[in-house]
Amino acid sequence: MRLLHVGDAHLGCRPYGVIQRELDIYQALLGIGAAAVANAVDAVLLPGDIFDSNRPPGAAVMALREFNDMLSAAGIPVFGFAGNHDIDNACWLDLAGVKQAPEDGVITVKGIRMLLVPYSTAARLPELVEQALIAAGEPIEVVSFHATIADLAGFPGDYPTAAVLSAVMKPFGVQYVAMGDVHKRGVVEHDEITFVYPGSTEALKSDEIEVKAVAMVDLTPGEPSALKLEWLPIATRAILTGQVDTMGQVDDLVSKADKLDQPMLLVQVARTWDGGVREVKSILAGHGLLCRVSLAPKVPTTVVEGEVVDMPVLDGIVRWDAEKARRAARESVHVLMGEHSPEAVELVLGVLDDPQSMPDRVRTFLEERQLSTYTEVLSG
């Protein structure tokens, strides 16, 4: 059985407010559909964060519908479930024609049984997987969930490890774990079980830039050693990043961009350059370049690890830098002075909602300020 495992698509996301990037995300999905048909896969799996939110724009639902129709015409079923971004979105998946697992979470394609585990917190994941496996009965060759595992997180944290999950899954004959959540590609093998994140289908942020791809996996019942994993690259727009503080550097950037096919530019302008942002924007726009130009961060992004220095509460919203918040919420607490990001606040919600997953330092910090819950933090 040949499965196409697609990472977080985040349909409806509009990175940096650039409409072309929203369209790029739809385009990437349709490219994946064409690759699925060309490679004659038996099924396509979308493990969560299919939509960027649980109220996706109509265009996002239409793009998924078009993808599904393309595959359906080729006789290829598309299966999907919600992640943390699009939880409770079943109606949108239905509208797009994407199939969901029945109550027991098990779908069977060409003799391969796949268990789709609904979204939950990382702390509860091993237990939920085990319960679902017991209810489903062996064999289960593929387990799919939307969650972070420690081995491939790219940042330290209290996530379950592949070793812990393997111990739970091995007795059921699991060969492949189709995961969503981490936006960079990653593979780890443990006890003959292959854990895979294909990564997001497009780079939504600068730290997600890489050659994007989807995982194509061939599976044989009862023969984990016959498993074959291949990566199919996704055609995506080139993204060029750079910092500028002189006109010469802007010119360099333009000539680099001219060598690429309509790239997206992410440019930071040094604070020492008065009025630089407007000027740089108009130069880049004058060259017909898609760009996002911003002032370099005021606060240095270097942070003090391992201790709470400050956690500003402004305008009633905790201002965390998304990337650092991810780490802060786990192993170390950092100085967090970045701009408000809905993703960051969501993460804080995720962490603080579950007191079990809250590290001692965060707990102490909140207790000292009599901020014991997310709601209290929010109201500042």
- Residues lying near Mn ion in the complex (CB under 5 A): 8, 49
Dist. CA 172–CA 170, nearest whole Å: 5
Min. distance of Cβ 358 from Mn ion in angstroms?
22
Our CB check for Mn ion shows the closer of 83 and 160 to be 83
Min. distance of Cβ 123 from Mn ion in angstroms?
19
DSSP, residue by residue, 291-341: EEEEEPPSS-S---TTS-----EETTEE---HHHHHHHTTT------PPP-
CB neighbours of residue 34 within 10 Å? 14
Our CB check for Mn ion shows the closer of 61 and 267 to be 61
Our CB check for Mn ion shows the closer of 117 and 371 to be 117
Give strand pairing partners of 99.
79
Residue with tokens 């942002």: 277
Our CB check for Mn ion shows the closer of 141 and 181 to be 181
Dist. CA 230–CA 215, nearest whole Å: 6
Q: Are 36 and 44 in contact (CB under 8 A)?
A: yes
Tallying the residues shown for the chain, one arrives at: 380
Our CB check for Mn ion shows the closer of 49 and 141 to be 49
Min. distance of Cβ 52 from Mn ion in angstroms?
8
Min. distance of Cβ 177 from Mn ion in angstroms?
17
Dist. CA 195–CA 343, nearest whole Å: 25
Min. distance of Cβ 71 from Mn ion in angstroms?
22
Our CB check for Mn ion shows the closer of 146 and 292 to be 146
Min. distance of Cβ 25 from Mn ion in angstroms?
12
314 to each of 97, 174, 277, 325, 342, how far by Cα in Å? 43, 47, 25, 16, 14
